[in-house]
């Protein structure tokens, strides 16, 4: 265990330093230390700059010191651009000199193998023992725009002026951070600060997240995440950000589950690491995206306008093709095209031909030629429609290009509604881009990027409210003693039954004679299922037989199942489960697992043997109440099938929600012991007639 001394400086003091030392400083801009020193000077850092280089007495007009110990203190921050072999000694020297925080750009640590991991642990121990915070290693440094602080060697700082704004960006990838910074700069988007963390050996995403929540200059928080050090703290901070009304946008790698194959349970194959991360984020109001530039563009829109007041999207384009593509992308993304009032359409007919006087608007249908003023007036009337909450402007080429772009943007801005602009041409559109920058209008160069931003904007209107504290139902039991390993179906069902999940009548039959007797007791028709530890998907090998109408059918089915299991070397036949045939109108899956980062998780979705193929599921951190379970059911793509689609009977979704909630409490009570749990299917009957779990499996770890 690394001993840790209380930090000398807080994160805010480190990001607003009074003094900065550059180890490995140089006047050669071809070297890391040279660029860092140059950018500190170029972009106007007002604090004390202390170049450290034993071979120079002066650099860029600044007095140079042979080592950090010779530099006058106090030194708030040191940035290290030195070889790996010198890094431990440099960290020790900084600690001895009383430095508050070190930024380690150097690579070759945990990301490079076991030797690098050992070196990383050594420098962390040195820093923590002295109360000195550590950014990195293997990071690109940080930029605090409002403090004129540029502590990175990236060439993206080769610009005359930096844009200051309200977006705070924290990234585990340094190269991606500066790439996002550069694209944003070119579009006129400003940041409050950008922080690269690299290996997160000391300062973590959670630390910087907390800083941004408390920072008055930061209004929107963006993050690129590879892994979290403190997941529960991360979620608690998400709640703080929500209460502070600071939207949080996140992009995480590891979204695909290429290494996961369907193993014992459906839940194991469906509730992978990214799916759980996404569910946790959505539960706590974090907006997820899959593209870095789209994330920053959406953040710029939210920074300027805040979340929209509705979800109706109005599309205006300078060409019919642009309008058509915009409509397709909006509808394919599940967003809603605004419906114009009759008065709006009538007003537009005065300026446009009737086919173009609706949503979307094609400026090519103007009645009076290519007048710039008419373009602006069309936008003014269009944007005033009450169902339009967001405006998508697709700018293809058009006569008087820059002037028309300006007129359209000014009219849209005057409406006060969020404006998302896609400028589709290449260099021919540079004058319109310049005009949009002058107006402070964020824009995108691709329609799909604009659509991503629109999707995030509309998602911001649907962020869940902070939930009330959930009380454990008084009637829930204590957990009984449970064995480790795979539970039998009867053991799993007994556990579910204790928690109030409705079950079908059933008996275990060790032989065919007992199976027939059980069927008589239950009443025909019945179902038979193999009881065999190690057998995962029974139906795949013919070990499930349904609708057995008489004793002869039960006897034959028992022997057929026994033969099918005998052909599976991993399975040990223990008899058959004889169960009442449960009729219903729909099937759900309920699953649960313990995630190593976020704890117990519950899964629900359309069930049956095709659950992975359909892949219509939702996840949530457990436990949840019936109201939350019902809300998740309503989010399913195939929810209409449960809600009376095209004359079908409405199903008992309230009973399903109650069962989901009970399973989630079971998952919470089992905690780390729960490897996986499946209830599949949960048969749904018509509204008011209930739901019944007819199959279940579970695997538990040692307690």
The predicted pLDDT at position 266 comes to: 47
Instruction: Please report whether residue 663 resides in a domain.
Output: yes
| pLDDT, average across residues 561-570 | 87
Do residues 55 and 24 both lie within one domain?
yes
- Identify the three-state secondary structure at position 160: coil
Confidence of residue 660 (pLDDT cuts 50, 70, 90): very high
Instruction: Please report whether residue 230 resides in a domain.
Output: yes
CA atoms within 13 A on the CB side of 474: 0
On whether the CB atoms of residues 245 and 657 are closer than 8 A, the answer is no
Do residues 407 and 512 both lie within one domain?
no
Measured CA distances, 134 to 130, 170, 516, 577, 693 (Å): 11, 15, 71, 60, 52
Do residues 326 and 192 both lie within one domain?
no
Measured CA distances, 73 to 9, 60, 79, 100, 583 (Å): 14, 21, 15, 11, 79
> Tokens in use for 492?
């799993």
Q: What is the dihedral of CA 527, 533, 538, 544, to 10 degrees?
A: -20
Q: Which of 121, 136, 19 is nearest to 78 (CA)?
A: 19
Summarised one tens digit per residue, pLDDT across range 494-512 is 999 999 999 989 999 999 9
| pLDDT, average across residues 359-378 | 84
**Domain CATH code at residue 557:** 3.30.1490.20
Question: What does DSSP say about strands 191-196 and 142-144: parallel, antiparallel, or unpaired?
Answer: antiparallel
The predicted pLDDT at position 263 comes to: 36
Place of tokens 């079950």: 503
The predicted pLDDT at position 260 comes to: 36
Do residues 511 and 608 both lie within one domain?
no
Do residues 199 and 160 both lie within one domain?
yes
- Identify the three-state secondary structure at position 457: helix
Summarised one tens digit per residue, pLDDT across range 172-207 is 999 999 999 999 998 889 999 999 999 999 999 999
Phi-psi domain of 648 (left: phi exceeds 0; alpha: psi -120 through 50; beta: other): beta
Torsion sign across C-alpha atoms 173, 175, 176, 182: positive
Measured CA distances, 596 to 195, 280, 329, 504, 673 (Å): 27, 13, 37, 33, 11
Tell which of 404, 435, 460 closes a domain: 460
Question: What does DSSP say about strands 696-700 and 674-684: parallel, antiparallel, or unpaired?
Answer: antiparallel
> d(Cα 633, Cα 586) in Å, to the nearest integer?
13
Do residues 100 and 200 both lie within one domain?
yes
Residue 218 is classified by DSSP as -
Do residues 642 and 564 both lie within one domain?
no
Q: Model pTM? A: 0.88
Integer Rg of the chain from CA: 31
**Domain CATH code at residue 403:** 3.40.50.261
Do residues 185 and 83 both lie within one domain?
yes
**Domain CATH code at residue 649:** 3.30.470.20
Summarised one tens digit per residue, pLDDT across range 442-482 is 889 999 999 999 999 998 887 766 667 788 888 899 898 99
Would you give the distance in Å from CA 184 to the centre of its chain? 21
Instruction: Please report whether residue 568 resides in a domain.
Output: yes
Q: Is the peptide bond before 521 cis (omega within 30 degrees of 0)?
A: no
Instruction: Please report whether residue 41 resides in a domain.
Output: yes
Tell which of 564, 580, 596 closes a domain: 580
Summarised one tens digit per residue, pLDDT across range 75-121 is 999 999 788 889 999 999 999 999 999 999 988 888 888 888 999 99
Instruction: Please report whether residue 497 resides in a domain.
Output: no
> Tokens in use for 205?
């995403």
> d(Cα 385, Cα 454) in Å, to the nearest integer?
18
Do residues 614 and 646 both lie within one domain?
yes
> Tokens in use for 129?
């023992």
The predicted pLDDT at position 364 comes to: 81
Measured CA distances, 638 to 279, 430, 648 (Å): 19, 45, 13
Count of the separate structural domains present in the chain: 4
> d(Cα 128, Cα 123) in Å, to the nearest integer?
9
Summarised one tens digit per residue, pLDDT across range 203-242 is 999 999 999 999 999 999 999 998 899 999 999 999 999 9
Do residues 416 and 356 both lie within one domain?
yes
On whether the CB atoms of residues 62 and 49 are closer than 8 A, the answer is yes
Do residues 542 and 648 both lie within one domain?
no
Mean pLDDT, all residues of the chain: 90
Summarised one tens digit per residue, pLDDT across range 256-302 is 554 333 333 444 555 568 889 999 999 899 999 988 988 999 999 99
> Tokens in use for 130?
């002295």
> d(Cα 66, Cα 424) in Å, to the nearest integer?
54
Instruction: Please report whether residue 477 resides in a domain.
Output: no
For every residue of 547-588, DSSP letters joined together read EE-SHHHHHHHHHHHHHHHHT-TT-EEEEEEEEE----SEEE
Within a 10 A sphere around the Cβ of 505, how many other Cβ atoms? 14
Torsion sign across C-alpha atoms 376, 378, 381, 384: negative
The predicted pLDDT at position 188 comes to: 85
The predicted pLDDT at position 573 comes to: 87
Summarised one tens digit per residue, pLDDT across range 111-162 is 888 888 999 999 999 999 999 999 999 999 999 999 999 999 999 999 989 9
**Sheet of 248-252, strand order:** 149-151, 142-144, 191-196, 164-171, 220-225, 248-252, 287-288
For every residue of 599-666, DSSP letters joined together read EEEEEEEE-STTHHHH--EEEEESP--HHHHHHHHHTSTTHHHHBTGGGPPBB-HHHHHHHHHHHHHH
> d(Cα 436, Cα 405) in Å, to the nearest integer?
7
> Tokens in use for 399?
């006569």
Q: Is the pLDDT of residue 433 over 80?
A: yes
> d(Cα 332, Cα 305) in Å, to the nearest integer?
25
The predicted pLDDT at position 361 comes to: 93
The predicted pLDDT at position 500 comes to: 95
**Domain CATH code at residue 105:** 3.40.50.720
The predicted pLDDT at position 367 comes to: 76
The residue segments making up the domain with residue 39 are 11-255
> Tokens in use for 49?
């700059």
Do residues 39 and 185 both lie within one domain?
yes
Phi-psi domain of 575 (left: phi exceeds 0; alpha: psi -120 through 50; beta: other): left
Q: Is the pLDDT of residue 165 over 70?
A: yes
Instruction: Please report whether residue 623 resides in a domain.
Output: yes
Instruction: Please report whether residue 334 resides in a domain.
Output: yes
Tell which of 563, 580, 597 closes a domain: 580
């Amino acid at each position: 265990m690394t001993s840790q001394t209380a930090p000398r400086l807080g994160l805010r003091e480190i990001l607003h330093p009074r003094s900065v030392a550059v180890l490995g400083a140089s006047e050669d801009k071809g070297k890391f230390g040279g660029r860092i020193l140059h950018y500190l000077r170029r972009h106007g850092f007002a604090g004390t700059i202390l170049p450290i280089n034993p071979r120079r007495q002066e650099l860029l007009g600044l007095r140079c010191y042979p080592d950090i110990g010779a530099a006058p203190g106090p030194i708030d921050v040191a940035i290290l651009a030195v070889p790996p072999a010198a890094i431990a000694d440099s960290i020790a020297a900084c600690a001895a000199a009383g430095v508050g925080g070190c930024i380690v750009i150097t690579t070759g640590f945990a990301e490079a193998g076991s030797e690098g991991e050992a070196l990383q642990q050594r420098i962390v121990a040195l820093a923590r023992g002295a109360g000195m915070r550590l950014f990195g290693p293997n990071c690109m440094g940080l930029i605090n725009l409002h403090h004129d602080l540029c502590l990175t060697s990236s060439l993206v700082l080769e610009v005359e002026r930096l844009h200051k704004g309200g977006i705070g960006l924290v990234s585990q990838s340094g190269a991606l951070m500066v790439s996002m910074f550069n694209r944003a700069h070119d579009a006129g988007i400003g940041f409050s600060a950008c922080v690269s963390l690299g290996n997160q050996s000391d300062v973590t995403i959670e630390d910087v997240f907390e800083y941004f929540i408390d920072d008055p200059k930061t209004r929107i928080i963006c993050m690129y995440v590879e892994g979290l050090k403190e997941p529960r703290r991360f979620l608690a901070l998400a709640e703080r950000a929500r209460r502070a009304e600071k939207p949080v946008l996140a992009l995480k790698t590891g979204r695909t589950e290429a290494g996961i194959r369907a193993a014992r349970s459906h839940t194991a194959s469906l509730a992978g690491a990214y799916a759980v991360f996404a569910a946790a984020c959505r539960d706590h109001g974090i907006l997820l995206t899959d593209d870095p530039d789209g994330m920053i563009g959406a953040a710029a829109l939210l920074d300027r306008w805040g979340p929209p007041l509705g979800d109706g999207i109005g599309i205006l384009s300078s060409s019919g093709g642009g309008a058509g593509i915009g409509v397709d992308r909006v509808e394919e993304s599940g967003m809603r095209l605004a419906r114009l009032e009759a008065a709006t359409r009538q007003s537009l007919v005065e300026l446009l031909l009737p086919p173009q006087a609706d949503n979307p608007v094609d400026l090519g249908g103007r009645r009076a030629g290519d007048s710039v003023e008419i373009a602006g007036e069309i936008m003014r009337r269009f944007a005033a429609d009450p169902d339009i909450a967001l405006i998508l402007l697709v700018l293809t080429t058009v006569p008087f290009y820059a002037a028309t772009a300006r007129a359209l943007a000014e009219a849209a801005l005057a409406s006060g509604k969020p404006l998302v602009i896609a400028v589709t041409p290449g260099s021919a559109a540079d004058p319109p881009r310049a005009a949009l920058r002058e107006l402070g209008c964020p824009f995108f160069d691709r329609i799909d990027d604009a659509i991503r931003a629109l999707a995030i904007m509309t998602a911001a209107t649907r962020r869940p409210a902070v939930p009330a504290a959930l009380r454990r139902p008084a009637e829930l039991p204590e957990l009984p003693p449970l064995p480790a390993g795979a539970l039998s179906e009867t053991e799993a069902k007994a556990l579910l039954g204790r928690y109030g999940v409705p079950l079908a009548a059933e008996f275990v039959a060790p032989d065919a004679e007992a199976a027939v007797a059980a069927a008589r007791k239950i009443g025909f028709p019945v179902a038979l299922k193999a009881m065999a530890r190690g057998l995962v998907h029974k139906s795949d090998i013919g070990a499930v037989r349904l609708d057995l109408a008489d004793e002869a059918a039960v006897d034959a089915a028992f022997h057929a199942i026994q033969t099918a299991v005998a052909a599976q070397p991993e399975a040990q036949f223990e008899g058959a489960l004889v169960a009442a045939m449960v009729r219903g109108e729909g099937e759900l899956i309920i699953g649960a697992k313990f995630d190593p980062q976020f704890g117990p998780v519950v899964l629900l979705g359309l069930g049956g043997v095709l659950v992975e193929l359909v892949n219509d599921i939702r996840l949530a951190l457990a436990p949840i109440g019936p109201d939350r379970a019902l809300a998740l059911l309503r989010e399913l793509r195939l929810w209409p099938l449960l809600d009376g689609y095209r004359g079908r009977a409405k199903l008992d979704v309230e009973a399903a929600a109650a069962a989901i909630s009970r399973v989630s409490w079971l998952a919470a009570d089992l905690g780390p012991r729960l490897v996986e749990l499946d209830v599949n299917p949960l048969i749904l009957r018509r509204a008011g007639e209930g739901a019944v779990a007819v199959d279940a499996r579970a695997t538990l770890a040692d307690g």
